[in-house]
Amino acid sequence: MLTTNFPATPAEGTGDVWILDTARTPLGPAGGALREVQAAALLAGLVRSLAGDDARDSDWLLDTLIVGCASSGSVMPEALPFALARAGVTAAASVSLLEGGAEAGAEAVRQAVARVRCGESQLALAGGIHLPSRPQEQRRASPDLLGALAAQVVSPRVAADVAIALHGVAPGDVAADVQRMRCASVQDESVQPVLDLNGLAVLVADDAQDTGAAASPAEEPWRSHHALALKALPQLGNIPRVHGPEIDPPALVGASLMLLGGSQAATALGLRPLARIVACSGAGHRPLHAMNAVALAFGQALERAGWSLEQIEWLEVCSRFAGVPHAVCRVLRVDAARLNTDPATWRYAHAGAVSSSMALARLARDLERLGRQRAALVCCGDAGGCVVVLMDRGNS
């Protein structure tokens, strides 16, 4: 395991930040095999895998663990130090639990990158976890109408419908995409089995139960949210009802982490970096104007990286709504041919903060597999939050 000895020379304060390795648990339905597994147990296996034998004799210190969680109250803050202890990491790591939307996993990575880049952290673990304590609990379907009207608050599904209506995405194409992704196989990734206290396997592979069509949403709440959207954007005239439960991906739970560090850390640990994180940015807006947040965050990230839009070879959009990636392409004026349409981008999009963390790991591995040099990830949360990460292969 990583030791508590400090390195002889401090880490570079302004050096590159690399994704050194990634790991995730199998994903399962909220009421499945992982329903009684504690958050610390999910994270401990990943910490043990990423900070294991390769670093046992190293002087480099794992000093940061940041985990995003999209379900408020589902993960106790104490789970993070417990996970470090169960993994055998005795270092006094700084731990942070972020509660937000589905983009919280990418936000955890963004904050960890900032710590490594400024020299505050030598090695960092960051990612997301989704383990609802009350999976059956649902938000109120209809908010207070006067307050909602003033704030333009609508349900995430209606906001996604508005996005594709505003930017000319055909509802029929969305349905066709979902059907294609449902039928296509998803390539297996490096998965760490979830073990119980006795070392017995609880879950070793994904258990995605996609039952196809689901029950339609309640009519009155949908109509009230639809009416609010039309009051805010009367120029639409009509908002197609596209993103219902019948085309939502299955809800999944699990955890995903990645190991981040500078080039010196990679050399010292004998690790071959997967990709370099060049720039990150975040922004937020009200759900009906979430695409404005996407444009702002993407522009800021390009400016920080010194890249032009034409240099982006591969774009992945993390959203649980199938039409949003195409709407993002229209907003950013990115050719749809550069959009990643791998079935995994939809199949694993409804796993809370794990979705964005897994998308980053998938993108880092895709750069080399596909022979790409520069790529971007756009993580869209349900409440209008957005995180953008730009990465490249560097000189690895």
Contacts of residue 133, Cβ cutoff 8 Å, sequence gap at least 6 = 71, 73, 74
User: For residue 304, what are its two tokens?
Assistant: 């920080």
For residue 308, what are the CA distances in angstroms to 104, 338, 374?
Answer: 26, 15, 11
What are residue 194's phi and psi, to 5 degrees?
-90, 125
What is the dihedral sign for C-alpha 182, 188, 189, 195? positive
Quote helix, strand, coil % in the chain, to nearest 5: 40, 20, 40
pTM over 0.85: yes
187, amino acid identity: Q
In this predicted structure, what is the pLDDT of residue 139?
Answer: 43
Reported as a single tens digit per residue, the pLDDT across 345-393 is 888 998 999 999 999 999 999 898 888 999 999 999 888 889 999 999 9
Strand partners, 18: 261, 276
CA distance 217 to 149: 21
Q: For residue range 34-63, what is the model confidence (pLDDT) as tens digits?
A: 888 888 889 999 998 888 654 444 556 788
In the chain, the domains with their CATH numbers are 17-133+250-269 (3.40.47.10)
DSSP state at residue 372: -
- Nearest Cα neighbor of 315 from 357, 265, 354, 372 is 372
